[in-house]
Structure 1
C-alpha cells in the first residue's frame, strides 16, 4: 500500500486521473493549470499461467486498485471540489462479464498470444488486404476479435448477453454503470472496427462471433457518466462526479506530453516499448497499426515491441542486483557490450516482425561477460528493434517532426542515450513524466469544461542527441543483430512449439 504524496492543498476545483498499468495503478490529483497536488500508487503483477498467456484479475488488480487510489486522492483533496475523473489502462485487454462480474481472468494485449490459430483462421475468412484496408492493420496478438473467438471455442465462456470490457472501461462501468468504449481502443479491437469510418464494423463483428454485443462509442474526453452512490461508497468520490471515457494508457501518455500534431512521435519506455505518431490523414502500412487518436476524428500510426522494460526487469531479477547498480555497471561497458548481443523477443514480437513464436536469444557470451554486459546488451537489443520500427515509420509517413520520450526508462539517461545513438534521433524529455495518469487528469479537465480542448500541460526539460561516433559503431552491430535474427528464426519457432506443449 502506498500513501498519497501531497505537495499542496488547493481549494480550487481539481481533477483526477488514474492509469491501470501492467505493473501498477497510478493516480494523479491536479489543478486546472496542471500542477500536481497529490499522487498515489498500487503495485500488482500480471499472471503468466501458461506459455503465451498473460492475464490479470480484473476485480482485484483493476477495480480494487483503482478504487483504493481514487480513495487516497480524494482524501488528499482535503475538501476541494473534484470536477472530473478520467481513467486509462493497459489495452486492448479483454474481460468478459455477466451481471455478477468477470467470468474469468482478463486477457491482456499483445503479450497474450493464445489466439494464434484464430488469427490465421480469421485472416483467411476476411482476407488480409481487406482487413488492412478496413481496420488499418493486420490481425495480430494485439487484436481483440481473435481472443473473443478463442474464448467461445476453447472455454465455451461466451454467450449472448455477456458484456466485454477493456481495463479502463471495466473501472468506468463500476464508477458509472455505463457500458462504453472510446474510439481509439475500439480501433485496436480488430476486426470489429472500421478505422476510416471511425465506427463499428458490425457485419464483421457478427462474423467473428455471432450475437456479440458492442458498447457505445465515445471519444476519450467525452463525459459519459457520473459516479454512482455505490461507487462513491467504494472510492470516497462524491456521488455525481463527472467521468470521462478515457483510453489506452499509451495514448493517454502521448496526450500528456503534447503529442497531438501531425508528425509528432512518442517513444514510451515501459514494460513494452511503444510508439505513436500522429498522422495528417488516415493511411495504412502493412507493418504498422493505424488507429483512431485521442483528439476527436484524429488518426495515428502505432507500433510496439512485445517486451522492453520487462527484459531489463528479467536481468535484474536473475542477477539479484538493483536497477541503480545495473545501470551504473552497464554505463562502464563500451558500446556493443564487448561483443555480447541480446534479441529481446521474450514474449514473441509485435511490429515489424508479427511473430508470436519469436524467442529471446543471447549470443556471444564468454566467461568475461558480467551482469553489466548483459544489462547493456538488453538496452542495445531493444534499441536495434526500435530502429527497425522507426525505419518503417519513416517509409510510411516521413521522418518525425519531433520525438518525445516518456516512461520510467527515460530516467538515468543511459537507455535514452543508447536509443539516440542507435537510431540517430533527438529526443525531447518532458519535465513531468508521471505517465498516463497525468494525461487522464488533463482529459478530465477538458471533458468537464475546466480548460479548452487545446490545453497542453507539457514542458520539455532536457534533450538527448545522438553521438555520431557511437552511431557508427552501432550501425555495424545492428547488421549483426539482423543476421542473427534471421538465422535463429527456425530454432526460435521450434523451441516455441516445445514450450507450447510443456506441462502447465
Structure 2
C-alpha cells in the first residue's frame, strides 16, 4: 500500500500563532502536515482571543493536509489539543476567550489558572456563561458531545463539562464544517502533555523543552519523587511522573527582537551563528512577560546587559538564545537538587528548527539533545490520541514504554565551554538582583506614607 493511500489518523495542535495538522499511519510514520494561521489574530490583545479564528484555522489546517494527502480527506479518527490553560466562554454575544498569556491565575496551578479565567469570563457573561477548554470547544463546534478532555490523573475543572479521558471517542464530525461527516472525534489534552507523550518521556531522566513562544523544561521521574509538586503530571506510562515547569517568553524573545530590528527570525539566527559563545559579553534575561518556573514572578521584566557601541543584532540574538538555555538550566538545577537529574533533552517546537539553538541548549545543560522530525510534537501527540481512539495503540496510562511510536530523532551532542558556566552564573545573579528590585519596589508601594 502506498503512503498516499494508507489509513491515517490526524492530530491538530492549536498553538499560539497557528493550527498545525499532522497525519500518522498505523506505524507512526508522519505522512503529511499542514499549517494555517488564525484570521484576525493580529488584532487580538495579549491574553485575549476570538475563538472563531481558532476554529477556522483548525478546519483549514485539516483541509490543507487533505489537499496534499488523499487519505487525510477520510481519516480514521481526528483529535485536537493545544495551548493551555486557555478558556473559552460561550453565551449571549458570541464566544470569547482568555489565553494562557492572560495574567488571571498565572502564578497558580493549571487548574487554578483555568478557574481564575472562568471567573473573569463569568463576570462578563453572567450566570449563563458556559466555559470550555479551547480544544474541547473546537471539537464541540465540529460535532462532539459536551466534555472536558482530561489526561490521566488530571483534577477535574469545575463547570467545564463531563470528563473524557484523552484518547476516548467523544462524538463524530457533523459535516457542517466541510470536514467528512461521521469521522470519530477523540478527546485530546493540553499541548505540553501531548508533546511529552510524543517525545517519549517514558523513562527517568528523559526531558523536554516543548518550545514555542514560551517553552519550559520537564523531566520524567519515578512516581513519588521528591521533585513532584502541584505541577507534576503522570507520564503516559504508569509509575512515572513528569516534573518541571513552563517559562514565559523564550520564543517570544526572538519575536520581539525581530519586530524591534525589522529582521526576520531566520535572519537573526543566521547572524547569531557568526557570534562566538558568550555573545561577546551580552546577556539577555528573557522575562518579557515576567517569569514562570522557577521564579514564578509576573512582575519581573526582561533585561539586556553588557551592551557596547560595537554590539549588533547578531550579538543580542545570540545572547537571547543563550538566555533561553540558561533559563532551562536554572530549572534543571532546581530539579537536580530534588533528585531529578536530566540525561537527555528533547527539543521541540519552532525553536528546534534552529540547530544552533538546540546546540546551545545541549552545551549549556551538558546533555545530548534529540530533535524530532517533525518538530511539532504536540500535533504528533494529538495524532497519538487519535490513534488510541482508533484502537491502533494504548491510550495514555494504559501502556508501557515503547508501546507508542515516536518521531524520527536527530542527535546533537553537547560541546561544553567554560564561557557558558560563567554565563549561567551571571544569568542567575542578574535574575536574583531583578527579584530583589521588584520586592523593594513592592515594599515601598505597600509602606504607609510618612506623616
Length-normalised TM-score, structure 2: 0.86
**Structure 1 position 384, deviation (Å):** 1.2
Counterpart among 218, 224, 228 of residue 164 in structure 2: 218
Determine the structure 2 residue equivalent to 1:112. 102
Counterpart of 1:65 in structure 2 is: 57
Deviates more, 1:139-148 or 1:455-464: 139-148
Cα distance, 1:435 vs. partner?
Answer: 2.8
Where 1:446 maps in the other structure, the secondary structure is: helix
Give 5+ residue unaligned stretches, structure 1. 1-7, 120-137, 188-194, 206-211, 498-504
CA distance in 1, matches of 2:238, 2:79: 16
Q: Deviations over 1:373-425 (max 9, x none)?
A: 00011111111111111112223342134322222212232111111222212
Rounded to whole Å, the distance in 1 between the matches of 2:341 and 2:227 is: 15
1:172 maps to which residue? 139
Residue 236 of structure 1 pairs with residue 179 of structure 2: yes
List per-residue Cα deviations over 1:7-51 (Å, max 9, x = no partner): x763332211111101111111232223333322112347663xx
Distance in 2, Cα, partners of 1:260 & 1:291: 12
Mapped contact 2:219–2:340 kept (Cα < 8 A): no
2:190 pairs with 1:248: yes
Q: How far apart, CA to CA, are the structure 2 residues paired with 1:280 and 1:295? A: 10
Deviations 1:300-337 (A, max 9, x none): 22411100011011112211223333222212212211
Q: 2:271 corresponds to which residue?
A: 329
Deviation at 1:466, TM superposition (A): 2.1
Q: 1:483 to 1:75 in 2, by over 3 A?
A: closer
TM-superposition CA deviations, 1:189-217 (whole Å, max 9, x none): xxxxxx6xx543xxxx7xxxxxx624222
Partner Cα separation in structure 2 for residue 313 and residue 496 of structure 1: 30
Alignment partners' CA distance in 2, 1:28 and 1:214 = 27
Cα distance in 1 between the residues matched to 2:315 and 2:438: 23
Aligned equivalents of 2:150 and 2:90: distance in 1? 21
TM-score of the two chains, using structure 1 as the length reference: 0.78
Residue aligned with 1:157, SS: helix
CA distance in 2, matches of 1:427, 1:452: 27
Q: Give the alignment partner of residue 419 of structure 2, picking from 467, 470, 473.
A: 473
Structure 2 distance, partners of 1:150, 1:427, is: 40
Distance in 2 (CA, whole Å) between partners of 1:271 and 1:294 is 25
Q: Are the equivalent residues in 1 in contact too, given 2:202–2:220 (CA < 8 A)?
A: yes
Q: Which residue of 2 aligns with 1:24?
A: 18
Between 213-222 and 288-297, the greater mean CA deviation after superposition: 288-297
Contact kept, 8 Å, 2:104 with 2:113, in 1: the verdict is no
The answer to whether the 8 Å contact 1:112/1:141 transfers is no
Q: 1:369 to 1:148 in 2, by over 3 A?
A: same
Contact 2:228 2:241 in 1 (8 A): no
- Residue 150 of structure 1 aligns with which residue? 120
Q: Is contact 2:299-2:438 (8 Å) kept?
A: yes
Q: How does 1:422-501 map to 2 (within 5 A)?
A: 422-451=364-393, 455-468=403-416, 470=417, 472-489=418-435, 491=437
CA distance in 2, matches of 1:302, 1:475: 22
Change (3 A) 1:273 1:495: farther
1:279 Cα deviation after fit: 3.5
> Secondary structure of 2:361's partner?
helix
| Secondary structure in 2 matching 1:379 | helix
Distance 1:30 1:235, change over 3 A: farther
Q: Secondary structure at the match of 1:144?
A: helix
Comparing 279-288 and 357-366, the one that deviates more: 279-288
Contact 1:250 1:274 in 2 (8 A): no
Corresponding position of 2:448: none
1:335-365 alpha-carbon deviations (Å, 9 max, x no partner): 2111111110001110110101110111121
Distance 1:354 1:46, change over 3 A: farther
Alignment of 1:258-269 (within 5 A): 258-269=200-211
2: distance between equivalents of 1:143 and 1:298? 25
d(CA) in 2 for partners of 1:399 and 1:298? Answer: 14
Shift in alpha-carbon separation, 1:323–1:495, aligned structure 2, 3 A? farther
Alpha-carbon distance in structure 1 between the residues aligned to 2:415 and 2:66: 46
CA-atom RMSD, angstroms? Answer: 2.9
Alignment equivalent of 1:338, drawn from 238, 259, 280? 280
Equivalent in the alignment of 2:215: 273
How many Å apart are 1:287 and its aligned residue? 7.1
Quick one: structure 1 residues 217 and 415, their matched pair in 2 at CA, closer, same or farther if it must change by over 3 Å? same
Distance in 2 between the 1:299 and 1:217 partners?
A: 21
**The residue matched to 2:207 in structure 1 has which SS?**
strand
Output aligned runs, 1:308-323, within 5 Å.
308-323=250-265
Matches of 1:17 and 1:383 in 2, distance apart?
29
Contact 1:262 1:280 in 2 (8 A): yes
Alpha-carbon deviation of 1:166?
Answer: 1.7
Q: Which moved more, 1:246-255 or 1:355-364?
A: 246-255
Matched, 1:367 2:313: no
SS in 2 for 1:415: helix
> How many pairs were matched up?
433
SS of the equivalent of 2:4 reads coil
Relative to structure 1, the CA distance from residue 147 to residue 459 in structure 2 (aligned partners, 3 Å threshold; closer, same or farther) is closer
